Amino acid sequence: MKLVIATTNANKLREYRELFAPFKIEVLGLKDVNYTKEIEETGTTFAENAIIKAETVSKALNCLVVADDSGLSIHALENFPGIHSARFMEGHSYQEKCAELIQRVKPYKDRSCDFTCAIALAIPKQPTQVVEGKFYGEVATSYRGSGGFGYDPIFLVPSLGKTVGELGEEVKNTMSHRYLATTKLIALMKKAGIIE
């Protein structure tokens, strides 16, 4: 059983492989299937962008495709960067992006934020289905931890007193937005008889 994840992000692909490890399923990225076309993410929500990616690749390859769109939404900044998380300060490192967001949040008492992950499952000749996971936290006052990727080092989990960057993969993969959404996705795939 093969499942294509519509991503070229090696970190994201690794997380999916770990999450699907208990199942007899081969998880492939876009590079593995030589899909090189640029996909324009023109949606206004995480779900819309996930659907665009999943359906575009599924139609091109005529196979089962999972795509996600995820990002960091900072509540005091009107949920910025949100769907623009990956494109915010393009060309800069995530350490620089994180530093900029810490500065922008400084004037506010409310440091609450969330990571959202919307996952679309595109099955040829069937309606695309979407699931979503949200992981709530706060923007840390400094960049902490070398684990994870993206905005993980500034996403503080108040109950643990640590950023996601300090948690380690095993802990992260039991609570993250991608874990929560993937759990729903696996339930969906079991119901559809795709996996056992």
Catalytic residues: 69
Is the CA virtual torsion 29, 121, 18, 83 positive or negative? positive
Task: Report the residue count for the chain.
Answer: 196
Alpha-carbon Rg for the chain in angstroms: 17
Number of C-alpha atoms within 13 angstroms, CB side, residue 54?
A: 26
Q: What angle do CA 93, 38, 94 make, to 5 degrees?
A: 10
- Spatial separation of the C-alpha atoms in residues 45 and 42, rounded to whole Å: 9
Token representation of residue 28: 């492939």
